[in-house]
Structure 1
Amino acid sequence: MAGMVNTHGGPSEALPGAGRALALLFIINLFNYIDRQVLSAVLPRLQLDANLFDPADPWLQSKLGFLTSVFLVSYTLLSPVFGWFGNRGRRWWVVGIGVLVWSLASGGSGLATGYVMLLLTRCAVGIGEAAYGPVAPSMLSDLYPVSQRGKVMALFYLAIPVGSALGFVIGGQIGEHFGWRTAFLVTFIGWFLGWQCFFMPEPPQPNRVDETPPSYLRVLAELKTIRSFVIGCLGMTCTTFVLGGVAAWAPTYIFQREARFAVTDKTFETLAEERTSDDRPVVPDEVVAKLRPLTGMPQVSFAEFKQKLRDTLPEDRQRAGDDFKQYGDRIFTAATTPDSISLGTVNLIFGVIVVVSGLGATLLGGWFGEYLLGRGIRGAYFHAAGWSTMLAFPFLVGALLVPFPVAWGLLFAAVFFLFFNTGPANTLLANVMRSDIRATGYAINILVIHMLGDVISPPIIGFVADVASLQTAFLGTSVFILIGGTLWVFGASSLDADTAKAGS
């Protein structure tokens, strides 16, 4: 192996088996994101399963929302633990155990007999992901030289848009024809992937400085002194905050802005057809009756329809208001006019935008970072991440202010530039950490960017929307694009020195 190690201790060229390792880790990451979006795609069907939910449960929406986020909490909190193990044992074994746990939990979601069991399986999904999330990029960094890591990280994270798209397709199509449970059972395929990990050769850690891996606190203390790591982590936190909030609320915002509503006979037919698995109406008859006075109303916007619902409430305004709040999604969907854009169409268009723009941006971002590096640009990966991120700001603001369909094009550009930094940002983190602390370093990065990013941004945006509007919330959130991009450009001056010091 001597001829394959550069003067800094890292490989001078891709090590034997690197391509096989990248392929396996990519497929694992792909199924990870398939699982995440399968849940999102089948949420409407989960609501109709009487074994899981009572349609009269006033906390139904909250319980559904918790299902989508509980895995992220366990994933974020436990990533540092598994990252610590990843620096002390066979990393492929850590990945394999994580994938086995994740695939059993994900497939087991389809076997849940009640809400609590479903909640526990989703929590276990996060435990499994935490085991391989920080370790996988660390291994890839040890298998490839600095000059190739940009493309490698871009390929690895390409699983995000592709897997998300496949998740919506699998969840939507299989869920429609064979039921929501079958959609989850598909992810049992991950069990086969997990076993493959135990037969993979362990990549060397060429610049380990002592026999005993450093403790977690020692790694944390070292990372705090690496300026590029700190700035890179802060920039990723800002963009994760924005992407998490946009992904959660953009379809709702677009639907509320563009849809038109009217209460007609078709509205009542649609509500009558919606029934749970034990044949109970999803929206009770007494709630439907409160809509009768609005029959024949002219087409109105979301805000106008919401006001009309308030204006026609009976004397018991508090109880009626709670009913409309609880069943609001069903009522608004049923009252959407035939010539109006539907929430399903919005989700479809937004999904295509995320997939196509994310696919192209992730690949181009990795290539562009390496292009700047080859041209001798100091802090190449910081520049690639920073300037592209700042370009997203005017496009996102424009999408909030101009009419559709022009806004769709601006939204595409905004998402494209928000994804562009994925490869460069993750590559620069790998390059400024020593091999024997990378797994723990990535785990700490995961903890920070999620706990201060997409874990908190959706509820914050929801709160601002309640106080003001979703548009105001998005405009405020967009400022973090500029902050993140500025931080990355500011960090460029130290990147080359930190990379050399790490002996990447």
Structure 2
Amino acid sequence: MASCHENIDEEKGLLAPPCEINEDDGESPSAQDVHDRTGISYTRSIITVGILFYINLISYMDRFTITGTLPYLQKSFNMKDSGSGLLQAVFLCSFMLLAPVFGYLGDHWNRKYLLCIGITLWSAVILGSSFIPDEYYWLFLLMRGLVGIGAASYSTIAPSIIADLFIADQRSRMLSIFWTAIPVGCGLGYIMGAKLTSAIGGDWHWTLRVIPGLGIIAVLLLLLIMKEPSRGAAEQNGQKHTNNNSWMSDVKALLKNPSFMLSMLGFTTVTFISGSLSHWALSFYKRARVLLYRGDPCQTVICQSDDSQIFGMITIITGIVGVGAGVEISKRFRKVNPRADALVCACGMLGSAPFLLLALTLARFSLVASYILIFIGALLLTLNFAIVDDILLSVVTPRRRSTAEALQIIVSHLLGDAWSPYLIGVLSDLIRKGKPESDLLMFNSLQYALMVCVFVSAIGGGFFLATALFLERDRKRADIESQG
């Protein structure tokens, strides 16, 4: 069994090799030392991750319940493609504006109570939006913007809590569990939104009344079970990290961190693609079905299946497999190459580009082939969900982590999925402008617009390759600063 050594060589003032955890022995002494430092047992730490996973899950379920009901919303509010893309943009703009507020508060105040306040307000807004009549589109748009309160609170705070409970490979695994909630929540939201709305005769209002009840359960779990660790407790024996710096000084320090900045830009391309596909995939495949089986009705299973259910299952499976596989591949590759995290992300982005291109191209001729290809592309894309956050936590000191999460949220959504669905909708409308409407034109316009994602995927791979150049140096620098 490996023994645990101090992280600082006092004679030389340098970092010694970190403690190794013998994973075959389960809860090894070094891992137990971590939980002694935090004052929180291993079991309660695992339960805390489970609660944060649940919060992340229901948040994305709400976000993509809207996507699952998009055809009903377009009909109800008489929206064009650009108008439906605006729903996601308004939500994410609010999300971005509130992220730095919660990021700053998360580095200075009690994170447990901040989560409770954010989720309570979020649940109340969602419930209120379910009672908006169809003629008040502007009010529904406003309420969707206010939903960003809850998303901003947990997205900036939850990863820093996990980082304060675990170290090394355990932290990577726990982050992978947390981020698996994104694709699983997306898939469940697709299915629930489409199926529930269809089951109750197209009344989308009722689909928004399920999530608020789940949100109240999350608040109760936080209050009754969760115990917040001290900042940086897992990495320091008895030393508490307090942040007396201003928000601007923390931001300036982060801007000078090349690994953080480049990985953040790489993750921005991920959000651009995932935002575009998650918002428009259902509409794209519905339009493809119209062309494929308009003159020749099909009786096979794929023809009679619901696209929301198929794409929802693809999202869930690729999320569970991709996020977990990314962490495990990176962990093993890291033993021979310290830049493994960034290289795995780069391979995922560069590898997904050709599969996305083929999936969009072949949808006109074969739904089965297109779904298989988009499954592979999405699987490669999700490899980096947890790894990107692991990079952030390893190159940023504990007292700046919530601020770093907030800055990553602002940039990745501002340049990513806050405007990508709207951009795709605008491009689709521009391609059709001035031409006679037809089913083929409806399909082709959206197909050509979505091909922007292929180029963005290649650009993302370049950002992650650049991250690999600085990653090892910035990790050592963060370790030294964390040790004081």
Does TM, scored on the shorter chain, surpass 0.5? yes
The structure 1 residue matched to 2:205, chosen from 181, 188, 198, is 181
2:183 matched residue in structure 1: 161
Report the CA distance between 1:30 and its aligned residue: 0.7
1:250 matched residue in structure 2: 281
Instruction: Please say if residues 271 and 417 of structure 2, whose CA atoms lie closer than 8 Å, have aligned partners that are also in contact.
Output: yes
The structure 2 residue matched to 1:362, chosen from 317, 323, 345, is 323
Unaligned runs of 5+ in 1: 263-298, 301-336
Counterparts in 2 of 1:123 and 1:169: CA distance versus 1, 3 Å: same
The structure 2 residue matched to 1:422, chosen from 373, 379, 385, is 385
Aligned partners of 1:61 and 1:26: how far apart in 2? Answer: 32
Instruction: Please say if residues 378 and 493 of structure 1, whose CA atoms lie closer than 8 Å, have aligned partners that are also in contact.
Output: no
1:286 matched residue in structure 2: none
Report the CA distance between 1:140 and its aligned residue: 0.8
SS of the equivalent of 1:134 reads helix
1:280 matched residue in structure 2: none
Q: Which amino acid aligns with 1:444?
A: L
Aligned partners of 1:166 and 1:359: how far apart in 2? Answer: 13
Counterparts in 2 of 1:483 and 1:467: CA distance versus 1, 3 Å: same
1:472 matched residue in structure 2: 448
User: What whole-Å deviation, never above 9, does each CA across 1:194-235 have from its counterpart, x for those lacking one?
Assistant: 233234322112368975432221111101111110110111
Q: Does 1:218 align with 2:249?
A: yes
User: What whole-Å deviation, never above 9, does each CA across 1:458-489 have from its counterpart, x for those lacking one?
Assistant: 23233333444434333333112112112212
Report the CA distance between 1:438 and its aligned residue: 0.3
Q: Which amino acid aligns with 1:364?
A: A
TM-score by length of 2: 0.79
Instruction: Please say if residues 341 and 387 of structure 2, whose CA atoms lie closer than 8 Å, have aligned partners that are also in contact.
Output: yes
Aligned partners of 2:5 and 2:163: how far apart in 1? Answer: 14
Instruction: Please say if residues 190 and 309 of structure 2, whose CA atoms lie closer than 8 Å, have aligned partners that are also in contact.
Output: no
Counterparts in 2 of 1:4 and 1:174: CA distance versus 1, 3 Å: farther
Q: Which amino acid aligns with 1:500?
A: K
Q: Which amino acid aligns with 1:436?
A: R
Report the CA distance between 1:419 and its aligned residue: 0.9
Instruction: Please say if residues 27 and 159 of structure 1, whose CA atoms lie closer than 8 Å, have aligned partners that are also in contact.
Output: yes
2:222 matched residue in structure 1: 197
Q: Which amino acid aligns with 2:60?
A: Y
Q: Which amino acid aligns with 1:407?
A: S
1:134 matched residue in structure 2: 156
Report the CA distance between 1:344 and its aligned residue: 7.6
Instruction: Please say if residues 238 and 453 of structure 1, whose CA atoms lie closer than 8 Å, have aligned partners that are also in contact.
Output: yes
1:379 matched residue in structure 2: 339
1:290 matched residue in structure 2: none
Instruction: Please say if residues 98 and 127 of structure 1, whose CA atoms lie closer than 8 Å, have aligned partners that are also in contact.
Output: yes
Aligned partners of 1:367 and 1:213: how far apart in 2? Answer: 37
Alignment RMSD (CA, Å): 3.0
1:37 matched residue in structure 2: 64
1:308 matched residue in structure 2: none
Segment drifting more, 167-176 vs 437-446: 167-176
Counterparts in 2 of 1:5 and 1:170: CA distance versus 1, 3 Å: farther
Counterparts in 2 of 1:46 and 1:210: CA distance versus 1, 3 Å: closer
Report the CA distance between 1:126 and its aligned residue: 0.7
Aligned partners of 2:104 and 2:375: how far apart in 1? Answer: 38
Following superposition of structure 1 onto structure 2, how do residues 71-470 of structure 1 map, counting pairs within 5 Å?
71-113=91-133, 114-178=136-200, 179-187=203-211, 188-199=213-224, 200-206=226-232, 211-260=242-291, 338-339=297-298, 345-373=306-334, 375-402=335-362, 403-404=365-366, 405-468=368-431, 469-470=445-446
Unaligned runs of 5+ in 2: 9-14, 20-29, 36-40, 432-444
Instruction: Please say if residues 282 and 307 of structure 2, whose CA atoms lie closer than 8 Å, have aligned partners that are also in contact.
Output: yes
Instruction: Please say if residues 214 and 437 of structure 1, whose CA atoms lie closer than 8 Å, have aligned partners that are also in contact.
Output: no
SS of the equivalent of 1:133 reads helix
2:50 matched residue in structure 1: 23
The count of aligned residue pairs is 422
Counterparts in 2 of 1:64 and 1:481: CA distance versus 1, 3 Å: closer
SS of the equivalent of 1:158 reads helix
Q: Which amino acid aligns with 1:157?
A: W
Q: Which amino acid aligns with 1:464?
A: L
User: What whole-Å deviation, never above 9, does each CA across 1:305-325 have from its counterpart, x for those lacking one?
Assistant: xxxxxxxxxxxxxxxxxxxxx
Counterparts in 2 of 1:86 and 1:5: CA distance versus 1, 3 Å: farther
Counterparts in 2 of 1:169 and 1:86: CA distance versus 1, 3 Å: same
Report the CA distance between 1:6 and its aligned residue: 4.9
2:27 matched residue in structure 1: none
Which contiguous aligned blocks of 4+ residues in structure 1 show a shift greater than 6 angstroms? 8-11, 207-210, 340-344
SS of the equivalent of 1:201 reads coil
Instruction: Please say if residues 67 and 279 of structure 2, whose CA atoms lie closer than 8 Å, have aligned partners that are also in contact.
Output: no
2:467 matched residue in structure 1: 491
TM-score by length of 1: 0.76
Instruction: Please say if residues 110 and 181 of structure 1, whose CA atoms lie closer than 8 Å, have aligned partners that are also in contact.
Output: yes
Aligned partners of 2:278 and 2:157: how far apart in 1? Answer: 26
Which of the pair has more CA radius of gyration? 1
Counterparts in 2 of 1:410 and 1:220: CA distance versus 1, 3 Å: same
Report the CA distance between 1:151 and its aligned residue: 1.4
Report the CA distance between 1:110 and its aligned residue: 2.2
Aligned partners of 1:176 and 1:475: how far apart in 2? Answer: 30
Report the CA distance between 1:24 and its aligned residue: 0.6
Aligned partners of 1:62 and 1:261: how far apart in 2? Answer: 25
Instruction: Please say if residues 269 and 416 of structure 2, whose CA atoms lie closer than 8 Å, have aligned partners that are also in contact.
Output: yes
SS of the equivalent of 2:291 reads coil
Report the CA distance between 1:398 and its aligned residue: 2.1
SS of the equivalent of 1:121 reads helix
Aligned partners of 1:457 and 1:65: how far apart in 2? Answer: 8
Sequence identity (%): 30
Report the CA distance between 1:170 and its aligned residue: 2.8
User: What whole-Å deviation, never above 9, does each CA across 1:405-428 have from its counterpart, x for those lacking one?
Assistant: 322221111111011111111111
Aligned partners of 1:357 and 1:210: how far apart in 2? Answer: 37
Aligned partners of 2:193 and 2:459: how far apart in 1? Answer: 36
Q: Which amino acid aligns with 1:89?
A: W
Aligned partners of 1:196 and 1:379: how far apart in 2? Answer: 38
User: What whole-Å deviation, never above 9, does each CA across 1:349-405 have from its counterpart, x for those lacking one?
Assistant: 2222222222211111122222222x2312121112111221111211222334423
